């Protein structure tokens, strides 16, 4: 509920030349879909080419497996909300309206097998894993008494992480850091990168995004919500609620994000870009297609 053919190099290269070689490699291999940016709405620049160090399909497969494990654990605890739960219906309706706008940010999203579930827990938390696996915790809906507009802000933010492939980028950075010259020497052919990436993605749920990632997800999430007909100004009320919930230890969803005061300022800065999309959606009576 955020930049991202050479000869093979010998393993004895020092760290500085290795970093330069990585920069050259990534700079020459930008994904084709990153060239298209929205002509209206927000502009957050091109996604990081670092993510190309690991295969998207393998990261998404690992995410799907971990998501299924999470669901099974919730079922065993009788914590997976049934489809007829009013809160499940709410979050799935929000997703239904947002998802048509996801391919403009990442064409792979059109092929993802999206799934939205609600888990009974006091955690103030929500996430969207690579490949479109979404989970909300009852703590964030009930604890913060979220409106549908606020749910859309949270969901848009989390979906944006997946669309911009922030998890894949973080894994790629771990792979590059841990494997050094050996990974670079196999990067062009992706010889050992795939298996290394699967191991690095074993803890997708515990990945921490950078402040830049979070700001980017906030911004893209605002546009997704606005196009779907949800009020982007709800981002301000959401973060005020987050501030109030942060009197003690910060909630999990809050603790990995930049300070709420700064986020509110950023949201206010982008409102002129997204409010016209929201107003058009209201006038049309249906979500505005890109």
Domain extents for the chain? 50-284
Q: Which residue has the higher pLDDT, 100 or 179?
A: 100
Q: What's the pLDDT score for residue 209?
A: 79
216 is catalytic: no
- Enter the pTM of the model: 0.76
Q: Which long-range contacts (CB under 8 A, 24 or more apart) does 179-186 make?
A: 180/11, 180/15, 180/18, 181/9, 181/10, 181/11, 181/12, 181/13, 181/18, 182/11, 183/53, 184/8, 184/9, 184/18, 184/21, 184/22, 184/25, 185/8, 185/9, 185/11
Is the pLDDT assigned to residue 249 strictly greater than 60? no
Average pLDDT over residues 239-246: 85
Average pLDDT over residues 246-250: 58
User: pLDDT by residue (tens digit) across 2-25?
Assistant: 444 333 223 322 333 334 333 433
Q: What's the pLDDT score for residue 171?
A: 80
Average pLDDT over residues 81-88: 98
User: pLDDT by residue (tens digit) across 16-73?
Assistant: 333 433 343 344 444 444 444 446 889 988 877 766 778 888 889 989 999 999 999 9
Q: What's the pLDDT score for residue 3?
A: 42
Q: What's the pLDDT score for residue 263?
A: 86
Q: Which of 138, 180, 134 is nearest to 157 (CA)?
A: 134
The Cα 204–Cα 67 span in angstroms is 10
User: If DSSP codes are grouped into helix, strand and coil, which group holds residue 129?
Assistant: strand
Tell me the Cα Rg of the chain: 19
User: pLDDT by residue (tens digit) across 165-200?
Assistant: 988 888 877 766 665 434 443 433 334 444 444 444
Q: Which residue has the higher pLDDT, 262 or 92?
A: 92
Q: What's the pLDDT score for residue 284?
A: 87
Q: How confident is the model at residue 245 (pLDDT cuts 50, 70, 90)?
A: confident
Q: Which of 158, 157, 196 is nearest to 176 (CA)?
A: 196
User: pLDDT by residue (tens digit) across 103-130?
Assistant: 999 999 999 999 999 999 999 999 999 9
Average pLDDT over residues 217-238: 96
Write down the mean pLDDT value for the chain: 78
Average pLDDT over residues 196-212: 60
Task: Compute CA 138 distance to the chain's CA centroid, rounded to the nearest angstrom.
Answer: 20
Is the pLDDT assigned to residue 246 strictly greater than 90? no
Q: Which residue has the higher pLDDT, 285 or 41?
A: 41
Catalytic entry in 158, 169, 214, 216: 158
User: pLDDT by residue (tens digit) across 126-158?
Assistant: 999 999 999 999 999 999 999 999 999 999 999
Q: Which of 11-20, 196-205, 274-283 has the highest mean pLDDT?
A: 274-283
């Amino acid at each position: 509920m955020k930049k991202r053919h050479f000869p093979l190099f010998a393993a004895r290269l020092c760290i500085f030349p290795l970093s330069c070689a990585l920069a050259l490699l990534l700079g020459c291999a930008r994904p084709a879909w990153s060239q298209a940016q929205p002509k209206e709405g927000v502009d957050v620049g091109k996604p990081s080419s670092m993510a190309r160090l690991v295969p998207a399909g393998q990261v998404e497969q690992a995410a799907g497996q971990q998501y299924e494990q999470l669901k099974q654990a919730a079922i065993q605890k009788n914590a997976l909300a049934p489809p007829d739960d009013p809160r499940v219906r709410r979050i799935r309706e929000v997703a239904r309206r947002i998802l048509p706008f996801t391919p403009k940010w990442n064409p792979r999203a059109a092929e993802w097998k999206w799934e939205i579930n609600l888990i009974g827990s006091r955690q103030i938390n929500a996430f969207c894993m690579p490949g479109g696996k979404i989970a909300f915790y009852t703590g964030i809906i009930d604890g913060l008494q979220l409106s549908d507009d606020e749910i859309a802000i949270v969901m848009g933010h989390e979906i944006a992480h997946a669309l911009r492939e922030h998890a894949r980028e973080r894994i790629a950075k771990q792979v590059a850091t841990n494997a050094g010259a050996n990974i670079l020497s196999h990067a062009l052919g992706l010889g050992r990168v795939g298996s290394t990436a699967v191991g690095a993605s074993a803890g997708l749920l515990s990945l921490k995004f950078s402040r830049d990632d979070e700001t980017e997800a906030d911004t893209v999430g605002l546009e997704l919500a606005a196009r779907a007909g949800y009020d982007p100004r709800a981002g301000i009320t959401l973060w005020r609620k987050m501030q109030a919930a942060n009197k003690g230890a910060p909630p999990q969803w809050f603790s990995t994000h930049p300070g709420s005061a700064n986020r509110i300022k950023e949201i206010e800065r982008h409102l002129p870009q997204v409010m016209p999309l929201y107003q058009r959606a209201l006038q049309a009576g249906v979500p505005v297609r890109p």
